[in-house]
Structure formats: C-alpha cells, structure tokens
Structure 1
Amino acid sequence: MKHNIIKTGILFITILTLIMAVLTIWILKDNREMNYRERIVDLNEIQELTTLAIKKGDSNTKEKLDKRIQLLQNELRNESVQRNSHKILIYIAIVYSVCLIFIFIIFIYIYYVVIRPFKRLEKYANEVASGNLDLPLQYERQNLFGAFTWAFDHMRKEVKKARACEKEAIENNKTVIATISHDIKTPIASIRAYSEGLLANMDTSAERRERYLSVIMNKCDEVSKLSNDLFLHSLSNLDKLVMNLEVCDAKKVITPILEQIIGENDNIVILNEVMDVKVRLDIRRFEQVLENVIGNSKKYASESRIEISFNLNNHQLECHIRDYGKGISEEDIPFLFEKFYRGKNIENKPGAGLGLYIVKYIMEQMDGSVDLNNYNSNGVEITLEIPMYESSLS
C-alpha cells in the first residue's frame, strides 16, 4: 500500500507539472499578444496626432518621426513583454509551489492517518493468524480508524477467550472420562468379586446369598447412574437433549417415581402427599432429577434421615428434599451447579461432579428451577420448582 501511495503521489505531481507548463505557455502567449495590441493602438493614436500636427511641415520631419515611433514601438513591446512574462512566471511558480506543498501535506496526512495504522493492523493480523493472541493492539479512539482498530482488538480478546474455553472444555472432558472410568472400576470389581463368590458356592445360607445379590444390584445401579450422567452430559454439550413435555397429574406421576426410588430405605420419609395439580414436564427426565437429588443425599448425608415434602407457592409445585448430614462448605455453594465441580465433603466417594449440573439443566429445560438451602452442619435442602399448568390455575 505504501508503494501504491508513492506512485499515486508521483502521478499527481507529474500531472500538475504538465498542467502548469501548458498554462504558462498559453498565458505568456496571450499576454504577449495583448500587450502588443495595446501598445500599437496607443502608438497609432500618437502617430495620427503627430501627422495632423505636422501636416503642413516637410516630409523629412515626418519620416524621422515615423522611424522614432517605430523604434519606440519595438522597445515598448520588448520591455512590456519581458516585464509581464517575469511577473507571470513568478505567479505561476508560487502557485506551483503551493500546490506541491498542499499535495505533500495531504500525502503526509494520509500516511499517518491511513497507511501507518493499516500497516500496524496488517502486522497485528499476521501475529494473530500465527496464534499469538496475547499481543495487545494499541489504538486511539479519536483516530479515523480507531473504532475499527478497537473492534479488531476486541475480536482478538474474544478469540482468545473462546480458545481458552475450548481448551478448558477439552480438559474437563478428559477429566470426566478419567473420573468415570475410575469410578466404574470400583463397582465392577465388587460385582465380579461377589459373582465369583456365588460361583464358588460361598453363599452357604439364604441370608448370605441375598446379601450378595443385593450388593451386586446396588453396584449395577451405581454403574448405570454413572453411564446416564455421562450420556446426559454429552447430550447437553451438543444441545441435543430432547424434552418430551406433557401435561400430567403431578400426584399420579411423582408418587410412583418416589416409591420406586425409595424402595426399602427406611431413612427416607415422605412428609405429605403430592398436591393434585396439573404440571407440564418430561416424566422420564424428572425421574432422573429425583434420582440424582435423592442419590446425592444418600451418598453424602451419611445415612441420615431424608425428608421429602411438597407445597404450592406462587403458581408452582415445590418439591423439598432435606437431609441432615454434614452440610456444604459455604465456599462450595456458588459452584455446586457447575459441571465437574465436587465439594470438599466428597470423602473419596465416587462421582464425576455432573449430578447437580444435570439437575439444573433438566429443570431449566422444563421451565422450572432448582434452589439450594444450606444448614451448615445440619444438612442441606434442595427445592425443585415446577410451574403449574395454566388450566389448573383457573
């Protein structure tokens, strides 16, 4: 671009020089003819007057006067032309110099305002293209291209941020795969050990056999939950988690789900029945939500009492799940619903840090929400808020 500007400047100066040269020749020629005509007219008038004055004189005197007038004409013509030509040349030189200075100033301005910022931007773009996103771009907002330069630097920051997020996502995916792989090993090892015990006829009594089978079933449930969490995480990342929302009776749907999840656990208590209202939800996904929340309470509340209650509040059906375990550290609370985050109370318990993230994601997809109330060392309460269907509000 710099070379193109220089070529353009040379072209402008050449054109200006040619124009000024042609103009000078034309003005000098025209001025020469004009002066000549004016002087001849004046001298002709003198000649006529002289002729009338010496009309009665001799011819010798008249001849001398004619020669003198002719000589005077030639001298005046030459002097006038030279004097006027000199002035015109000075004027033309001044105009030419002013034009050159003006062109020079314009090109200096263009260089500092246009060319230099673009050269800097070109160099900066090459740095960004090579992967150097840490190099800031200096810019001036009052500059002609200040806003454009600022936008380019802002783009660099966004690209850097996106690349950092991409790197973090890749690392998180590696972490969750490694964590789940490790967590799956433990229940599978237990399943294998108890299965080998059954094959070796170590179940000498019905009670021992029942205990072996119960352990195997529980470990299978753990593996199934880990697999489901990983699958839901993958779907949420791809935005392909399909929600099959349907209007249903909350009491008829939620009560059987709770009975199936609770099973023979005597420490889980339902304080009151589900209200007989209409809600709009994905039954299968909501079952996963309840499994995750209740499963977390069972895992981290050290077999404490777990209470489940329901109430209606502001056109919403609220499901409260309260445990009486050790509670959650205050510094962990802001991050509990983030992917892969695990609090300080995990005590080497298996998990990938996806449970509450999936709970929040599913509830939001069903236009609901989830809230957490921490009682410090006296447990945690999770509240699931489900919007009531409009027809049930009338």
Structure 2
Amino acid sequence: MKKFDRLIVVFLAVYLLISLGLPVLFQSINRKESSEYKVEINRIYLGLVKGSPFTEPDLSSCEFIKNVTFLPQSLSTRNEELDKFYKSNNGVEYEIKPWYDGDKLLGYLRFNYINSKGDNSFLLKVELILFMFAVSIVSILLYIRNSILKPFNTLSEMPYELSKGNFKGDMKESKDRYFGKFLWGVNLLRENLDYHKIKEFKLQKEKKLLLISISHDIQTPLNTIKLYAKAIVEEVYDTNEKKMLAAKQIEEKSLEIESFVRYIIKTSSEEILEIEVVDGEFYLKDLIEKVVLTYKEKCNLKMIDFTVGNYNNKLVKGDLDRAFEVVGNILENAFKYGDGKEIKISFCEEDYCQLINIFNTGEIISQNEFNHIFDSFYRASNSEGKQGNGLGLYICKSIMKKMDGEVFAECEKEGMSFTLVFR
C-alpha cells in the first residue's frame, strides 16, 4: 500500500516538474523566434530600393512579417499621421526603422509582425491537456487504491489469522464489485471453521465422557471374567458342571464387552456421518463444468488422458457441492492409486436415474479387499506408502445415500470404475 502511495506521489512530482518546465521551454523557443522575425525585417529592409518611391514588398516568403507601411518624412510632423502610423493592432507587434537615402532621411518604415509560435494560448492549451491527463491518471490510481488494493490489504491478514485458529475476527461485508462476494465467502469460511472448531471441542468432550462411561461399564464384566478365569486356573471348581458354568459366564461377559466395543465403533461412525447435505436440485452441466475446470488442467500436467463423454443436461436431485465432493474424492483416488494413463467419465440414464461412471486404469485389487472398499478406515494393500485415512469412499457412499442416491464400484479388466446414481 505504501509503495502504491509512493507511486502516486512520484507521478504528481513528475507532473509538476513537466508543467513548471513547459513555460521555461516555451520561453526559450520564444527567444529563438524573436530573433527570426528580425532576420526577416533586415532582409526586407535591405531589399528596398533607396531613392525610389516606396512600394510594399512581397511578403509571401515571410513567416512573421504581415505588412510594411511607410511614413514619409514630410508627414512625420503631423500629429494625425503620427497617431495613425503608431496605432497598435490587436495581436500584432511592430518595429519602426528609419529609411535613409545616403544621409537623407526619407521617412520611417513600420514592420508589423505576429510572433504566432510564441502565442501564450498554445502554452495554456498544452498545460490544460496535461492537467486533464494528470487528473485522469490520479483518479484511476486512487480508484485502484481505494476500490481494489485497500480492500485486498484488509483481507491479507485474514488467511494468516485463520491458519492460527483465530476465527473471531469479522470482515465487514461490502457490495464492492471486486471483493463483495469474496468478503462474503471469507466470512462464511470463517464462520464454518469456527462452527467446526466448537463442534470438535464438543465432540472431544462427549467422546471423553463416553470413554469414561464405557470404561466403567466394561470394568464390571471384565472383573467377572478375571475372577472366573482365576478360579479355573486355581482349580477352585471340583466338578465339570461348575467349570462349564464358569466358562458360560466368561462367554456372556465377553459378549457384553463386545457389545460395548460395537457401540464405540457405531458412535465413531455416527460422528463421521454427520455431513450436512442440502436437499435440493442442480443441473448436471453445472457439476460437470466444475469437475472439468478443476481437474482437466491437473490431468494435463500429469499427462493423464482425461475424457468426458456426451450427456444431456438433466436436473438431478442432490447438493451440487456435495456431489462435486463425491466426484472429487473418486478422482483423487484415481490419481493416487491408478497407473496415470486414463481417466474417463461417461453418462447414461436408467430407471429415471442419471448415472455417472468414472473409470480409471490401474492395478485391480483382490476380491476380498474389494468387498471392504466402502468401509470406514479401510485401506487396501495398494495404499501402502500413500497418504490417506481410508475414509474417502466411505464418505462418498454416505453423501450419496443422504442425497437419495447410491454409488457402486466394479473391478474391470484394465482398472476400477465407480458409478454414481442420482435421481
């Protein structure tokens, strides 16, 4: 911002320097021109034939001299003739020279000239144009400063504050044509991050309480198991019937502990499933254009053959942003686990549903692994050495179900394909 202000100051300084230098420049030009008209006067004067009656010389080649008048010596004593001879004309300057024939004074010559090149009106016009140009440039610079750079400078600290986890600062919303929507988006992002941060703290608290509660509940059957196991080891029971009863109690308490473990897993899954989906509609074209805009260039950089088939622009049921998230997760998996040769998106319609098929070439996983690819926290053998948490496809399936849709996977001859079903 300060550098831009310096730019404006430098521009104004240059303008003032030029505007003040122009009169000096014009003055030097005027001095040069003033000597030029004298040259013309001397040439005309020397060209007059002395002793002959005065005849007005040819002035067609003269640039400054407009006319020459003569006042004979005999009339130079008359006041009315003198007044007429010396009468000035608007915009015309003159110079008087005596005309001699030897030692005899014949009269006086008046050379009327116009020093047009030294006209101050031209200088004023140049100064006015220069001033208007300077005002226009300064206005544009101030507009850029106040409408673009200043709002952007205000925004520059927001990403840094968000990265530190400071979500409390609020940005004043604006109807500015450049940053109005951006400010709104940043505020929405800040509010979402703040909401998820509070939600995360709440979940952490609930999780700790849940673990404490379940730990207490598990302790009872666990103590029972330990007690019966110790009794069996120390041969407290002297009959097989008592031993069988103890084993049955151990089995029942084990099942009770297993139910607690299932409850923990179920609770964890419910936290993951808490994804907000807008119950609405969107056009298929909007989804595909967003996908192409995001991933076409990425595929070009990775030298992957990315093709999108023909489709009819249908209105489908669901949330556009969440649908894009699903497609994005599948494409990211294609980048991560595919062989980098081809990704193809094709379309078809079936039973009043829109099907989107995403195919990528690559190594095929085993049937056993294939049966679990939509499970939470599951990672197949081909994920070794690659970043991930095994939640991508699990989230995709959850989102599609919330949009009253479905997602299917299929192992093909040369790779994997995923089919998204939208109503």
Q: Structure 2-normalised TM-score?
A: 0.44
Higher strand share: 2
